[in-house]
């Protein structure tokens, strides 16, 4: 990911000025190094800060996550308006001034590890994303914000000051002086030398060379933004020192930065690994909770099941009388309890409690664990959602081919061996849409007897529906139902005419009443995935994929996570077809549940 130079920030600020007088609407923080300001000015505007070194106006919707710092910022800046933006002394720092009844200053440091600091009008720090300390300044609440030590602005110096600074530089070449002492960075320092016709490895030896360098800098300062991307880097103006072949132009520098910016794959992989380990731990905890619920409930039941035995022991009312009893495994006088074993289960009983009270203690433990069960399931769902988002981020890193989208691609779909379109719902909402909006008189509707099945519709138009299409649709219906994740080898699937499907009062979304005779089939659950001739991902019965795709991978029920299978499929397709396939499309096409590939 590109870190902005001082010169980049100079041009970014020009674009950010379009946000002046915009009102803060919301503030998000998808991760610890990303702050997103959602502002309102003639519609929604998104300002994205990605530390350590990137800021731009984004065209994409912001993520709805919040960490503590973004919550604090939202509380502090709600309904404040952005009044000014400054880049002082050509530093890699931007000051955003907000005003409502009072004034607050957000300072964005885009160097080193990066930081976002909120100050009062006197630059007293209210809060900072990161607490930091150096020998000459400290970033923490209640400290006065100080800029890093530096010389006065060299970018805005006159010719005389500029010449003097060049002469006193201890750098061995002009390119290093411009890159380091003047904060242009290596690429722009080389561009200045190239435009000035100066050997970048030399030191300027004449007033005319210094004048030439100075003039080029003034020329760049006054140039308008001509945003472009070269060699996967974004620039605010065209670099004459680079080959013009392959340059892409953009309507704004922010747009170029957004497209060029890529989160390192190492970071994505590390986050996926962390979330996967967390998910495994959470699943084990969930399993332990369920096991504890069963065990505690069983112990309570065993007490009643062995009522006479337990009652006879409790009636002794004295732990000393139980010392020699062969049924007693241990005594705890402090807790006034004794332990017995029933059907290989260790049960602890209180000598002073009734048999009902002793049993109820175990039932209460089971009840408490059931409350934990809901929390554990919620935590797993949250982790799975984060994993899904991480998969989506990874998918966005790939350059994908341009494909025309058809109306049916919002649903599950495939083309049969006979060339007929079949569509299916992904959820209750799309089931509703298919039946209510897309069902026609010549169609056939497929469903399973078990819950958790999509409504699947053959769309023949004016054509006759052949046996091959019917059998393929049955396989597709069964394989995209809950029978897949249940690892059933076969399933009963029926089909009916469109007039037999009715929406009756009281039925939930995605559910319909079926009337009349049903025709049943018993397909085997097995699919394949391929890339069609027009480069669409199609997951369908094997015969259909063979007929319509230029490459094919068999998909079976298994124990491998769908996201891992999707990555393996993508790798194969990329290698076989020499094109980049969208990972998210593969994920959406696969059946619900774990898989394996043939």
Structure token pair of residue 210 = 């210094």
571: Cβ–Cβ under 8 A, 6 or more apart, which residues?
none
Q: Is there a single domain that holds both residue 132 and residue 166?
A: no
- Asked if pLDDT for residue 5 goes beyond 90, the answer is yes
Q: Give per-residue pLDDT as tens, 22-32.
A: 999 999 988 88
pLDDT value at residue 217 = 94
> Which pLDDT band, with edges at 50, 70 and 90, does 509 fall under?
confident
Q: Give per-residue pLDDT as tens, 35-48.
A: 999 999 988 899 99
Picking from 63-67, 202-206, 459-463, which range would have the lowest pLDDT averaged per residue? 63-67
Does residue 377 sit within a domain? Answer: yes
Does residue 94 sit within a domain? Answer: yes
pLDDT value at residue 61 = 60
Does residue 211 sit within a domain? Answer: yes
> Which pLDDT band, with edges at 50, 70 and 90, does 269 fall under?
low
Structure token pair of residue 418 = 């006979």
Which residues face 277 on adjacent strands? none
Look at the chain and report how many structural domains it folds into. 4
The average pLDDT across 546-574 equals 91
Q: Is there a single domain that holds both residue 188 and residue 333?
A: no
> Which pLDDT band, with edges at 50, 70 and 90, does 397 fall under?
very low
Does residue 148 sit within a domain? Answer: no
Which residues face 129 on adjacent strands? none
Sign for the pseudo-dihedral over CA of 322, 325, 326, 327: negative
Structure token pair of residue 124 = 């007293």
pLDDT value at residue 486 = 87
Last residue of a domain, one of 396, 426, 445: 396
- Asked if pLDDT for residue 428 goes beyond 90, the answer is no
pLDDT value at residue 404 = 66
Higher pLDDT, 52 or 62: 52
Where in the sequence is the domain holding 562, given as residue range(s)? Answer: 407-597
Q: Is there a single domain that holds both residue 384 and residue 411?
A: no
Other beta carbons less than 10 A from residue 488's beta carbon = 15
Picking from 127-136, 151-160, 178-187, 538-547, which range would have the lowest pLDDT averaged per residue? 151-160
Strand, helix or coil for residue 446: strand
Q: CATH number of the domain that 37 lies in?
A: 2.30.310.10
Does residue 146 sit within a domain? Answer: no
Whether 398 contacts 451, CB under 8 Å = no
Q: Is there a single domain that holds both residue 201 and residue 287?
A: no
Highest averaged pLDDT of the listed ranges 364-373, 519-528, 562-571: 519-528
- Asked if pLDDT for residue 243 goes beyond 80, the answer is no
Proportion of the chain in helix, strand, coil states, percent, rounded to 5: 40, 25, 35
Last residue of a domain, one of 347, 369, 396: 396
Structure token pair of residue 315 = 């009636």
- Asked if pLDDT for residue 405 goes beyond 90, the answer is no
pLDDT value at residue 538 = 96
- Asked if pLDDT for residue 152 goes beyond 80, the answer is no
pLDDT value at residue 530 = 95
β-pair type (527-532, 549-560) = antiparallel
Last residue of a domain, one of 77, 108, 139: 139
Other beta carbons less than 10 A from residue 207's beta carbon = 10
- Asked if pLDDT for residue 64 goes beyond 70, the answer is no
Q: Say if residue 438 is exposed, middle or buried (CB neighbours under 10 Å; 0-12, 13-18, 19+).
A: middle
Q: Is there a single domain that holds both residue 470 and residue 505?
A: yes
Q: Is there a single domain that holds both residue 489 and residue 380?
A: no
Q: Is there a single domain that holds both residue 198 and residue 217?
A: yes
Q: Is there a single domain that holds both residue 107 and residue 224?
A: no
Whether 115 contacts 128, CB under 8 Å = yes
Which residues in 213-240 are b (16+ Cβ under 10 Å) and which e?
A: bbebbeebeeeebebbbbeeebbbbbbe
- Asked if pLDDT for residue 300 goes beyond 70, the answer is yes
Other beta carbons less than 10 A from residue 514's beta carbon = 12
Does residue 402 sit within a domain? Answer: no
Q: Is there a single domain that holds both residue 212 and residue 280?
A: no
Q: Is there a single domain that holds both residue 418 and residue 562?
A: yes
Establish whether the linkage from the previous residue to 19 is cis, with ω within 30° of 0.
no
> Which pLDDT band, with edges at 50, 70 and 90, does 578 fall under?
confident
Q: Is there a single domain that holds both residue 222 and residue 274?
A: no
Q: CATH number of the domain that 370 lies in?
A: 1.10.287
pLDDT value at residue 344 = 87
Does residue 258 sit within a domain? Answer: no
Where do the DSSP E strands lie in 100-191? 103-109, 115-119, 125-128, 132-133, 138-139
Q: Give per-residue pLDDT as tens, 362-388.
A: 999 999 998 888 888 888 988 888 777
pLDDT value at residue 468 = 96
The average pLDDT across 152-176 equals 86
β-pair type (493-496, 23-31) = unpaired
Percent of the chain residues topping a pLDDT of 90: 59
Which residues face 26 on adjacent strands? 38
Does residue 255 sit within a domain? Answer: no
Picking from 139-143, 244-248, 372-376, 534-538, which range would have the lowest pLDDT averaged per residue? 244-248
- Asked if pLDDT for residue 395 goes beyond 70, the answer is no
The average pLDDT across 511-539 equals 93
> Which pLDDT band, with edges at 50, 70 and 90, does 398 fall under?
very low
Q: Is there a single domain that holds both residue 118 and residue 240?
A: no
Q: CATH number of the domain that 168 lies in?
A: 1.10.8
Whether 10 contacts 18, CB under 8 Å = no
């Amino acid at each position: 990911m590109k870190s902005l130079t001082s010169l980049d920030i100079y041009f970014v600020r020009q674009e950010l000025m379009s946000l002046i007088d915009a009102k803060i609407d919301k503030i998000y923080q998808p991760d610890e190094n990303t702050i997103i300001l959602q502002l309102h000015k003639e519609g929604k505007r998104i300002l994205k800060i990605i530390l350590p070194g990137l800021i731009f106006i984004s065209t994409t919707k912001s993520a709805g996550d919040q960490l503590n710092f973004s919550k604090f910022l939202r509380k502090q800046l709600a309904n404040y308006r952005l009044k000014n933006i400054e880049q002082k002394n050509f530093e890699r720092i931007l000051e955003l001034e907000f005003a409502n009844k009072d004034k607050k200053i957000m300072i964005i440091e885009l160097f080193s590890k990066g930081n976002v600091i909120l100050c009062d009008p006197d630059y007293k720090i209210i809060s900072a994303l990161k607490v930091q300390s150096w020998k000459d300044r400290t970033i923490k609440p209640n400290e006065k914000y100080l800029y890093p030590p530096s010389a006065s602005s060299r970018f805005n110096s006159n010719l005389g000051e500029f010449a003097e600074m060049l002469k006193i530089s201890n750098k061995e070449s002009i390119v290093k002086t411009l890159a380091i002492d003047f904060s242009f960075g290596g690429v722009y320092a080389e561009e200045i030398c190239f435009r000035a016709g100066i050997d970048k490895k030399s030191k300027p030896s004449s007033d005319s060379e210094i004048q030439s360098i100075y003039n080029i800098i003034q020329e760049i300062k006054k140039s308008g933004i001509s945003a472009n991307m070269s060699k996967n880097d974004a620039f605010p103006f065209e670099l004459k020192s680079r080959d013009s072949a392959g340059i892409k132009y953009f309507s704004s520098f922010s747009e170029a930065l957004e497209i060029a910016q890529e989160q390192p794959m190492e970071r994505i992989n590390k986050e996926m690994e962390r979330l996967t380990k967390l998910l495994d731990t959470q699943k084990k905890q969930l399993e332990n909770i369920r096991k504890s619920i069963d065990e505690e409930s069983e112990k309570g039941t065993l007490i009643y099941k062995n009522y006479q035995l337990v009652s006879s022991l409790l009636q002794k009312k004295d732990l000393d009388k139980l010392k020699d009893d062969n049924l007693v495994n241990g005594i705890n006088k402090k807790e006034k309890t004794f332990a017995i074993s029933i059907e290989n289960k260790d049960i602890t009983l209180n000598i002073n409690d009734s048999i009902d009270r002793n049993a109820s203690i175990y039932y209460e433990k089971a009840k408490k664990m059931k409350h934990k069960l809901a929390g554990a399931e919620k935590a797993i769902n949250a982790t799975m959602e984060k994993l899904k988002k991480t998969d989506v981020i990874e998918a966005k890193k790939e350059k994908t081919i341009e494909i025309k989208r058809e109306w049916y691609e919002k649903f599950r779909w495939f083309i049969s061996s006979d060339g007929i379109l079949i569509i299916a719902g992904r959820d209750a909402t799309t089931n509703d849409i298919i039946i209510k909006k897309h069902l026609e008189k010549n169609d056939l509707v497929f469903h399973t007897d078990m819950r958790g099945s999509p409504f699947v519709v053959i769309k023949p138009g004016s054509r006759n529906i052949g046996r091959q299409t019917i059998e393929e649709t049955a396989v597709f219906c069964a394989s995209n139902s809950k029978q897949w994740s249940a690892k059933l080898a076969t399933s009963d699937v029926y089909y009916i005419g469109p007039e037999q499907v009715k929406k009756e009062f009281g039925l939930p979304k995605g559910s319909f009443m079926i009337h009349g005779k049903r025709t049943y089939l018993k397909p085997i659950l097995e699919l394949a995935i391929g890339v069609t001739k027009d480069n669409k991902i199609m997951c369908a019965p094997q015969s259909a994929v063979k007929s319509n795709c230029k490459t094919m991978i068999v998909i079976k029920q298994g124990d491998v996570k769908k996201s891992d299978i999707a990555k393996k499929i993508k790798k194969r397709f990329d290698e076989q077809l020499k094109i980049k396939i969208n990972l998210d499309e593969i994920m959406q096409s696969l059946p619900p549940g774990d898989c394996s590939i043939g």
